[in-house]
Structure 1
Amino acid sequence: MALPTASSLRGASPLFVRRSHRMSGTAGSQDYSEATAKYYKFNGCSDDENKSSVTVNFNTGHVLTTDLPLRMGGKDQASQPVECLLAAWAGCTQATALFVSRQMMRENKSCPLLERLEFVNITATRDERGALALPIHEDPPVPSRLHTLTGNVVVWPSFDEESLQLLQEQTELRCPVANMLIASGCRMNVKWINGDEKENRRSLS
């Protein structure tokens, strides 16, 4: 997967730039290892009565269906694929942050164990020309990927400033979905704040 170029990083937040450069180092360039590979397997098919919908059956026994809004030719009976991607980011972030928090607490007994994350005012953007530009035989003028992801991740309980930054950075480096989004060039301008600080809570309104 291509890493962000220097031009794509212009104007990005310092944290985003730092993460992107770290991904281009050792952690992002190790050869793929079959010995440590984790596999995700599924079978899926579109719906004969709704060609915009796909139902996927995973080997874990879970089922996921996607659809499109009516205005896009679907029947609006399930979440859009990009909405599922964003839900995957939130779920993966929560699970990874809990793992990171446990390891931080083992290294520093004064560090609290994460209780929960709350995702507030999360907004993703993409340029529709990346998917819809015509004529179809020409490459679109912009990437179809997500361009930005903004909002707040509220953390309970409170972490000190250094620990909160470590929690965010290591979560975004270790979460497969966040890692993929950042490596694609999506600008992750999501602010992590402590939930029990009243001044931070007021800033979300």
Structure 2
Amino acid sequence: MRYRLVATSFGGVGCTSTIRGAVRHTLQTDLPTQMGGGDSAAQPIEALLASLLGCKVATAHYVARHLWARPHNRFESIEFADVEARHRLNQPPGALHLPITEPPPSPPGLTRVSGVARVHLPAGSPLTADDVAVLGRVVEQRCPIAAMLAAAGVEMDMEWVPGGAAPL
């Protein structure tokens, strides 16, 4: 599979990326005003986290179809709660270290992503909390964005649990 994009800054630190395919989609990023941006869109790290969660949902649907026996090989939805990404504790991110010409004392990337994935199963589903936990383990192994983050040394700590009735 191949992905093609073009991107342009729109004055200041904001950026608009256009995904080139049969249907063109756009994605914007910006920074908060206190960091020199216009606060008109998600920060790049937030866009990465949204991509991670979207990738986990898509991967989970694929995995469930192949992991669980029919007709119970699906779920209604996944609700991600308390998702948090962190840099090294007690240190500013390396990207912000000054003077700018010196190497930062810590890497500029994330060190940990955590949260809870509540998997909402159809009414009457025989699937258990253990089944949902296995789904989560396989998703963590198969999700391309999770794999890239883990390979970069980011600790991935997402708890997968049954979520009861699907949210409205």
One fold, TM greater than 0.5? yes
1:135, distance to aligned residue in structure 2 (A): 2.3
Matched with 1:91 is: 54
Give the corresponding residue for 2:103. Answer: 139
1:55–1:66: 8 Å Cα contact kept in structure 2? yes
Give 3-state SS (helix, strand or coil) of 1:52's partner: coil
CA 1:129–1:91: 2 relative to 1, 3 Å: closer
Among candidates 32, 55, 60, match of residue 69 of structure 1: 32
Match of 1:15 in 2: none
- What is the letter of the counterpart of residue 141 of structure 2? L
CA distance in 2, matches of 1:183, 1:111: 33
2:112·2:156 contact (CA, 8 Å) conserved in 1? Answer: yes
Q: Could you tell me how far apart the structure 2 residues matched to 1:81 and 1:147 are?
A: 16
Pairing 1:122–2:83 present: yes
Give, in whole Å, the separation in 2 of the partners of 1:167 and 1:111: 13
> Which ranges of structure 1 fall in alignment gaps of 5 or more residues?
1-37, 198-205
Indicate the residue corresponding to 1:59 in structure 2. 20
TM-score, normalization by structure 1: 0.71
Structure 1, 187-196 or 62-71: larger mean CA deviation: 187-196
CA distance in 1, matches of 2:103, 2:119: 42
Distance 1:86 1:195 in 2: 21
Identical amino acids, percent of aligned pairs: 37
Q: Which amino acid aligns with 1:135?
A: P
Q: Does 1:168 align with 2:136?
A: yes
Secondary structure of 1:76 counterpart? coil
Which amino acid in the other structure matches residue 77 of structure 2? R
How many residues are aligned here?
156
Q: Aligned-residue CA RMSD in angstroms?
A: 1.7
* Counterpart contact for 2:120–2:164, Cα < 8 Å: yes
Which residue of 74, 85, 89 corresponds with 1:113?
74
Cα shift at 1:164? 2.0
In 2, Cα distance between the equivalents of 1:75 and 1:109? 49
Is residue 153 of structure 2 the alignment partner of residue 190 of structure 1? no
Q: What is the CA-CA distance between 1:160 and the residue it aligns to?
A: 2.3
Contact 2:133 2:161 in 1 (8 A): no
CA contact (8 A) 1:96 1:175 kept: yes
Contact 1:122-1:150 at 8 Å conserved across structures:
yes
CA distance, structure 1, for counterparts of residue 7 and residue 14 of structure 2: 10
Q: Which amino acid aligns with 2:111?
A: H
Partner Cα separation in structure 2 for residue 70 and residue 176 of structure 1 = 32
Higher helix share: 1
| Offset at residue 111 of structure 1 (A) | 4.6
Contact kept, 8 Å, 1:120 with 1:152, in 2: the verdict is yes
